[in-house]
Amino acid sequence: MVDLNKGSLYRVDLCHNFQVGENVPEWIQQLKILEYPRRKTKPYYPSEGVQYYSKKASLSFYDKEAETRDPNAHGILRMEASWRDKKMIGKLVGKPLATIGDFTSEVVFSLLNVHLEKLGIKDRAPIDSLATLRILMEKFGSEQGVRLYGYLNARQNASSKEMKVMGMSKQTISRSQKLIKAAGLCMSIAESVFTLPTLVITPRGIVE
């Protein structure tokens, strides 16, 4: 008998379903604005979605109902994290090569939460424009708060890379983003005044 728990892994896909109700489209639009370090942001098909891609790994978010055409999936924002390199997969669990048995519930929770952290949305969600400005001014004062608000608004239309091309220094971009995140904000501004639900990893949402 073959023990699959001892087989080396050359690809891993970890998934989570977030139930966000009618907010799936806006969450996807917000995710398109966010950036994942050292990955390219691009559309994700076959449904309207977004993917943060590199040659060895990717992270995708999409509308599960649109993908399956199953009304039972209404309101589900699907998150899929994939790794396609055996050495990288081993590093995820601190081993030269990983096995299925290495990916316990605790490990899966940790890895998926790292993705949310890198996107700047762990324990936080985008808020509307006026609330964003108010928080920045309360945190940093009127002058710096307005400056950071201006930067954040610019980021809604241009990526960090595009802003560098237009003349903004790497140091200014990095400093602005650190301050905005320190204020408890995401790097995107919600279009709706209604608070978006936070994306929280729960055991019930993990897909085996």
The answer to whether residues 40 and 53 touch, using CB atoms and an 8 Å cutoff, is yes
Of how many residues is the chain composed?
208
pLDDT value of position 47: 77
CA dist 63 and 82 (Å) reads 17
Tell the burial category of 148 from Cβ atoms under 10 Å away from its Cβ (0-12, 13-18, 19+). buried
Mean pLDDT of 163-185: 96
CA distance 140 to 138: 6
pTM comes to 0.90
Q: Which residues pair with 51 in a beta bridge?
A: 42, 60
What is the pLDDT at residue 151? Answer: 97
CA separation for the pair 171, 201 (Å, rounded): 33
CB 199 within 8 A of CB 125: yes
> What is the pLDDT at residue 5?
60
Looking at residue 46, its pLDDT comes to 76
- Is the pLDDT at 3 greater than 80? The verdict is no
Q: Where are the alpha helices (DSSP H) in 93-141?
A: 105-119, 129-140
Q: Which of 67, 90, 87, 88 is nearest to 17 (CA)?
A: 67
Q: Which of 126-135, 168-177, 187-196 has the lowest mean pLDDT?
A: 187-196
- pLDDT at 1 > cutoff 80: no
Dump pLDDT digits (tens) for 76-110.
Answer: 999 999 999 999 999 999 999 999 889 998 999 99
What percent of the chain is modeled with pLDDT above 70? 94
Please determine, for residue 6, whether its predicted confidence score (pLDDT) is greater than 90. no
Residue 48: per-residue pLDDT: 83
Residue 52, pLDDT score = 98
Domains of the chain are: 4-124+199-207 (3.30.310.50), 129-182 (no CATH)
pLDDT confidence of 2, banded at 50, 70, 90?
A: very low
For the chain, give the mean pLDDT. 92
Half-sphere exposure of 11 (CA within 13 A, CB side): 6
Q: Is the pLDDT of residue 206 over 70?
A: no
Asked whether the beta carbons of 14 and 23 are under 8 A apart, the reply is no
Q: Give the model's pLDDT for residue 152.
A: 97
Given a contact cutoff of 8 angstroms between Cβ atoms, the answer to whether 127 and 190 are in contact is yes
39 and 51 in contact (C-beta within 8 Å)? no
